Amino acid sequence: MLTQPTRLTFWRLILATTFPLVGLSLWDAFSLAEKLGIAPLTSKTWLAILGALALIGLASLILFLLTFGAQQGKVLAALEIVEKTAQSLPLWLGWPVFLAALAAYPLIMFHPYYGDLLVRQSWLRLFLFWIFAIVATQALKLAWPRLSWPGAFLVALLLQATVQRVALYLPDITAYPFAMGWSETSRYYYPALFVSRKIFGQAFAWPILHPSLHLVLTPPYWIDAPLWFHRFWQVFVRFLLVGLIAPALLWRLKIENKSSIGRWLAGIWIFLYLFTLPLYLHLAVPVFIMLWGFSAHNERRTWFWLMVASVWAGLSRLNWYPMPGILAAVLYFLEIPIQPPDAKSSWKSVGVYLLKPVLWLVVGTAVAFAVMRSYIYFSGLTNPGDFYTSLTSSLLWVRLWPNASSSLGVLPGIILFSAPLWAVGVKSLKTLGSWLRVGFILAALLVLFVGGIFVSMKIGGGADIHNMDAYAVLLLIVFAYLFFARQTPENGQPVSQVTLHWSVTWLLVLIPAWFAAQGAAGFWQYDSAKSQATLTAIQQRVDSVNAGGGEILFITQRHLISMHMLSGVKLIPEYEREELMEMAMAQNEAYLKVFRDDLEKHRFAAIIVDPLRFNFVGQDDAMGAENNAWTRYVVKKILCNYKQAAIFPADRIAIYVPQVGTQTCP
């Protein structure tokens, strides 16, 4: 059951939050004006902006103070004026205003000018997000008068945060011919290796990194789809696979009333929670498989789907190998009580009870490991050790705390993210009536938490909390059982749904909404004629290298080859950027030595890569350790043996050719 704050408490919270947000936004506005070289007090436009902000802040402060005096009733009536207005207006009028308020924030952030100005002004952005949420609340009350003010606010905030999360992925769908980020081109090149004979005319080794992810991204190659469709497919399949966890969990909890607004809102909140991490799309598969496939009363069904999920986990990530077994065990502990033992056979009964979850965990993990070993065997790669470089890469303890790579840090970030769920769990786990069951559930969460922290500290991680995914997903499932009172206690009696204080409910929505407001994205702006000119220049270089009988190495932009945007390119499968970076971070000397030797021998007549900068930074700089590994093991080795022959800054592409004569190193 959910409690709600009183009208007075609700509006005091809204006003008390608005006032400091305005103050911090004013600070941001002055900082922005300074960056732009504008004297804000001499500009009419800036004076109007600052005046509007100051007026909103002053009004919220005055109204907040008045709620403590005799004018309290009039203040509340003024703030809720839409309820009186609704009596003279058609209810449907609220819906277009509501939808416009939900869309306003992402539209502003997508604007090529205003979005670019606001992207680094975090308080101004948060203020806009907050104001549009209040406008959406007013519109929702007009359209749905029976909804309480606190309820309308939470619904508006939940939907606004979800719209923002979805909108952040839309700019990824574009026909821009080159990579839009560090690893984007890898997401479209590696899937081609599974159908390499069709794409390249010969078989190549399968990818080392994230096989299951790249399997999911293979289908567009079946139909020779263009690049924009590959991008669309990745966005679509992300929403599909991660989104499937919500109906799977709601089905598992037997919340099946499809007309229930509460069911839809619960599903939307689960979706928002998972995208806040964010959960990678291929890691969602074993989760919804186990939610749908686990059966407390049908062992064959459980074992079958456990095997399927474990096979997928084995093709995913090392720290996810035990996840299907852990999910099955925790569902078992939540749903199945220990049979009341007699005095003579208590330990035996406990042993029998624990046998199934232990077997699921051990066998599931073993299957996942065996699948990966089989994948390595059939992959065609000559060095199996390349699959386990993450085990030897260094740990960066600084990533646990606020740092340049993450303003929150992994530890404070995951604590903030999961604290409201623990507020429910701490209160409700005891209803299981067995400390053994509680202990195993807590142990599973602890193991996944520690494992996630360990992975987050690895070089290459820690920029957000996504490596805490296994812990966060399991916590979500446990929380959902306890929140909806679907756990089975030892006495077998139904459990009453937990009563949540309204502050916990608010945090369950406010925290994901706050994370969503931090996200920024914009539609890719590019000159198609200039990009085509870059593509033509690269094609000319390919033709020139082919005419001379040489080889051309694409460290980046390999999708140009796999999607036949270039012709006549003989693929060199080694040294793709993401793989090369992985080996540099792990200091894989055997791999890097072969790379150095190839460069020193000038094996390649040309190299296509991002413009290279020889630049070491401090370990505390944003992704500083990663930058230094790339600079030390890749950039320096290339620049000591090759020189820049052409550069296309707008598309972040450069062509390097062998140095002739006396070689120079940076």
Pairwise CA distance, residues 446 & 430, whole Å? 17
Q: Among candidates 123, 166, 1, 137, which has minimal Cα distance to 79?
A: 137
pLDDT in tens, 33-79: 888 888 888 888 888 989 999 999 999 999 999 999 998 999 999 99
256 has pLDDT over 70: no
Mean pLDDT of 323-347: 81
Q: What pLDDT does 341 receive? A: 43
Helix (H) or strand (E) holding 434: none
pLDDT in the model for residue 91: 75
pLDDT in tens, 146-205: 899 999 999 999 999 999 999 999 999 999 999 998 889 899 999 999 999 999 999 999
Q: Which of 254, 286, 168, 185 is nearest to 481 (CA)?
A: 254
Structure tokens at 428: 């409700």
pLDDT band of 261, cuts 50, 70, 90: confident
Amino acid type, 520: A
Region of poorest pLDDT, from 196-205, 427-436, 509-518: 427-436
Beta bridge partners of 656: 607, 644
pLDDT digits (tens, 9 = 90+) for 624-650: 999 999 999 999 999 999 999 999 999
What pLDDT does 250 receive? 95
R_g of the chain, CA atoms, integer Å: 28
- Whether residue 258 is predicted with pLDDT greater than 70 in this model: the reply is no
Q: What confidence score (pLDDT) does residue 364 get?
A: 98
The chain-wide mean pLDDT, for the chain, equals: 92
pLDDT at 519: 87
Q: For residues 528 and 503, is the Cβ–Cβ distance under 8 A?
A: no
Residue 340 clears pLDDT 60, i.e. is over it: no
| Cβ atoms 576, 209 nearer than 8 A | no
Look at residue 344 in the predicted model and tell me its pLDDT: 47
Average confidence (pLDDT) over 432-437: 89
